[in-house]
Structure 1
Amino acid sequence: MAGFLDRAKEQAQRGLTQGKQKLDDVQAQRAGADLLKRLGAAYYAERHGTGSPEATQQALQTLENHITVHGDGFLHS
């Protein structure tokens, strides 16, 4: 009986870990998509005279930092 409970507990823990990983992946993709939108908005503003090159560069750097940490999977979805 103890072996069964140990296996059930292990399986439940594995399921929780996989669920958390999936949630983290989804959140990273959403954050990446948001950063990409911010870069586009900064570029658009710069091109239309209401933004600055510094704001565009900052948005680009923030996006590149995100890609370094989380990868560029959000660009392909």
Structure 2
Amino acid sequence: MAGFLDRAREQAQRGLAQGKQKVDEVQQQRAGNELLRRLGAAYYAEKRGSGTPQATQDAVTALEAHVTAHGDQFLRGDQGL
């Protein structure tokens, strides 16, 4: 009986770890998508005359930092979620 419980506990821990990893991936993708949205909004505002080049550059810098830290998977259309 102890062997069964040990296997069940191990399987449950693996499942929890996989679930946490998936949640982390989704959160990183959402953060990346939000940074892309902010970049688009900054660029649009700059082109319309209500934004600044500095705001656009700040958005690019934030996006590049995110890509460096988490990769660019969110930029592709095949996230598989």
1:12 aligns with: 12
Q: Which runs of 4+ in 1 moved over 2 A?
A: none
CA distance in 2, matches of 1:37, 1:73: 16
More helix per residue: 1 or 2?
1
Aligned-residue offset at 1:7? 0.7
Q: TM-score, normalised by structure 1?
A: 0.97
Which sections of structure 1, spanning at least 5 residues, go unmatched?
Answer: none
Aligned-residue offset at 1:73? 0.7
Q: TM-score, normalised by structure 2?
A: 0.92
For this pair of structures, how many residues does the alignment match?
77
Q: Deviations over 1:31-71 (max 9, x none)?
A: 10110010010001111110001100000000000011111
| Same amino acid, percent of matched pairs | 70
Which sections of structure 2, spanning at least 5 residues, go unmatched?
Answer: none
Q: CA RMSD in A?
A: 0.6
